[in-house]
Amino acid sequence: GEAVPSTAKGTDFGDMSAFVHGVVLGHGRISAGSVCSSRGSSLFSAGMTARSLSTSKPALNRSQRTSTPRMMADPIVNLEGKKALVTGIANNRSIAWGIAQQLKAAGAEIGVSYLPLSEKVEAKVKDLCKPLEPTLFVPCDVQKSEDVTNLAKTVEKEWGSVDIFVHCLAFANREDLTGEFINTSKDGFNLAMSVSTYSLVETSKALAPLMNNGGAIVTLTYLGSVKYVPNYNVMGVAKAGLEAAVRYLAAELGPKNIRVNSISAGSIRTLASSAIGGIQSMIKHVEEFSPLRRATTIDEVGNTAAFLSSDAASGITGQIIYVDSGYEIVGATINK
């Protein structure tokens, strides 16, 4: 997943909900641009509170809104007292990193699960995560069921329970991401589905019993699950499976007050996305033609993940939330 850099043999898609997340239409999908604050800012340090909405001050005009600093004392989302386990942090450009930062800003206690590739990788992730002050730092390779079991046991031993689980895990062999999808190898197909799709099912099964007071599970998807995207190939099928898994898990875990949602992030330059041929031109296209005329930031995705993890989203489950500068609504463009 997001914890693994691109390699000669494969590409990690966890931190990119895959490169140009966007154009998706259909049942159960929500465009959530209004959930996010302004570009790159935190929903929690500069939010509008219910108290502020009730004041009698006159509305600001457009220029005033643009130039007036937002200095609210209370955050929109409050996750104090909540324990959040985040997977897939690879570097400071990872979407998982953006999510973890915003969960921390909202007051959550953070736990980090990383892929134990080497001592060097472990040290790098641990150093990056110092500002999060994680009270859990647990290795987990989701291709090994014993690692998933150990992850749950460690959470139970150290925390007793968990309130939020952030799943940012996906992987596909590089050779299955070039040329035609029809040439996907069986082993490559099974690997992509196992890491990118089944891992959500297995980890949710392991952690759900520890969500004693209900909880929230958040994962990442991409428009390639419902639309053709060049070079995305087997990952598109894996993300389609992931979205279906979100709906089934939401239905089954709902009676336990556990909500399951996915974020389809917009175009973000990450280590994983850099491995996709033509990604730079795709991002430029989004920047030129999305309604907001820009790419999405990891902070914006993080803000939405924190919202979905909070009581403010207590009625939302089984949904695909688009955080993509509005690109999801675009049906056609005209070259300028």
Note the pLDDT of residue 12.
58
What Å distances lie between residue 262 and 8, 70, 281, 301, 305, CA to CA? 29, 29, 26, 11, 9
Q: Which residues of the chain have pLDDT under 50?
A: 1-8, 15-42, 44-73
Q: In DSSP terms, which residues pair with 111 in a beta bridge?
A: 85, 136
Instruction: Find out whether 51 and 74 touch, Cβ atoms under 8 Å.
Output: yes
Catalytic residue among 114, 222, 322, 327: 222
Residue type, 214: G
CA terminus-to-terminus distance, the chain:
37
Note the pLDDT of residue 4.
42
Residue type, 148: V
Note the pLDDT of residue 274.
55
What the block records as the tokens of 172 is: 């596909």
Neighbours of 174 (CB within 10 A): 14
Neighbours of 88 (CB within 10 A): 29
What the block records as the tokens of 152 is: 């749950």
Q: Where are the alpha helices (DSSP H) in the chain?
A: 50-53, 62-67, 95-105, 119-128, 145-158, 186-193, 199-207, 234-253, 279-289, 298-309
The yes-or-no answer on residue 327 being catalytic is no
Catalytic residue among 114, 198, 228, 232: 232
The yes-or-no answer on residue 232 being catalytic is yes
Residue type, 331: G
Q: Which helix (H) or strand (E) holds 173?
A: strand 171-173
Specify the 3-state DSSP secondary structure of 127: helix
Task: Record the pTM.
Answer: 0.80
Considering only CA atoms, which of 105, 169, 153, 155 is closest in space to residue 306?
105
pLDDT in tens, 205-262: 999 999 999 999 999 999 889 989 888 899 999 999 999 999 999 999 999 999 999 9
pLDDT in tens, 137-146: 999 999 999 9
Q: Which residues contact 275 (CB under 8 A, 6 or more apart)?
A: 6, 11, 174, 177
Note the pLDDT of residue 47.
37
Considering only CA atoms, which of 96, 42, 43 is closest in space to residue 265?
96
Instruction: Find out whether 134 and 110 touch, Cβ atoms under 8 Å.
Output: yes
Q: Where are the alpha helices (DSSP H) in 30-185?
A: 50-53, 62-67, 95-105, 119-128, 145-158
Residue type, 151: L
Residue type, 171: F
Note the pLDDT of residue 207.
98
